[in-house]
Homo-oligomer: A and B are copies of this chain.
Amino acid sequence: MKLLDIVPVTAQGLISEDMERYINKYLSADTVMDITQITKGTPSIESEFDEAMCAPDIIDHCIRAEKEGYEGVFINCFGDPGVRAARERVDIPVFGGFEPVMHLALGTADQIGIVTVLPNVLPMIRGEIAKARLEGRVACVRSVGIPVLDLSDHDKLCGALLDESIKAIKEDGAQTIVLGCTAMVDVAETVEAGLHEAGYEIPVLEAARSAVMLLELNVKMGLKQSRITYMPVPEK
């Protein structure tokens, strides 16, 4: 199976080889996940503005991906930028970072706590949750106050994620933790272990890993977007 991971921002060096290896390690032996990156847009997505500016090139990459024979596309961002638009244009499954990790989290607990990067994206994520009519399953959306491009300091990141996760549990009633940025990679085990030490045995889910796994599953099962939800774009 041939999948494509589209990095939907223009900053360089975001996806290291280590991260790639980490994300892919659960995929089947015969699944190939290529990586590409958009060239028109903003360096990172941390606002509605960033999302809007990156969307056209993301969608173009999705259309090209289908033509090049990819069987599924992962738009590597928790905000699901361009996902709905791309689904209208291609016949292969398209997932961003938000939907898949949320759907997996639903299977682990009643109440989900999301911990993301900056306060700037909180209204956007809460809007996604409302649009997905999942407000009844989300205990809170919190942020660690670290910009996407500073996430590489894993110790600082894990410390902040642990702090916010514990607040999510104690103050908001979260029962499972979703890391609300696909660039938070290779940190779930550390946060989960920290929660374990603090007395909480609950899952911590990474968005990117969840997305590629669920994308692969959708391709395996031949699942596609509904053409009533995502009607083909009318000719003009």
Contacts and interface: CB of A to CB of B under 8 A. Distances in A.
Interface stretch (A12-20, A154-162, A179-187, A197-205): A197-205
Contact of A48 (B88, B120, B134, B218): B88
A175 interface: yes
A124 B137 CA distance: 15
A223 B203 contact: yes
Instruction: State the copy count for this chain.
Output: 6
Given A48-B84, A55-B55, A233 B176 contact: no
Contacts of A78: none
A2 to B, nearest CB: 18
A99 interface: yes
A44 B235 CA distance: 10
B233 A120 contact: yes
A161 B82 CA distance: 31
A151 interface: no
A83 to B, nearest CB: 9
Given A51-B85, A104-B103, A228 B118 contact: no
A130 B136 contact: yes
Interface residues of A, number: 81
Contact of A221 (B127, B209, B225): B209
Contact of A233 (B26, B50, B133): B50
A212 to B, nearest CB: 11
A160 B14 CA distance: 48
A224 B99 CA distance: 19
Nearest to A235: B147
Nearest to A220: B26
B217 A214 contact: yes
B108 A228 contact: no
Interface in A46-60: 46-53, 55-56, 59
26 contacts: A44-B236, A47-B85, A47-B233, A48-B84, A49-B85, A49-B89, A53-B85, A55-B55, A55-B56, A84-B124, A84-B127, A108-B229, A109-B228, A130-B131, A130-B136, A131-B131, A132-B137, A134-B136, A149-B236, A175-B229, A202-B226, A203-B223, A203-B224, A203-B225, A209-B221, A213-B217
5 A-B pairs with the lowest CB-CB distances in the bound complex, closest first: A133-B136, A201-B227, A109-B226, A52-B85, A175-B228
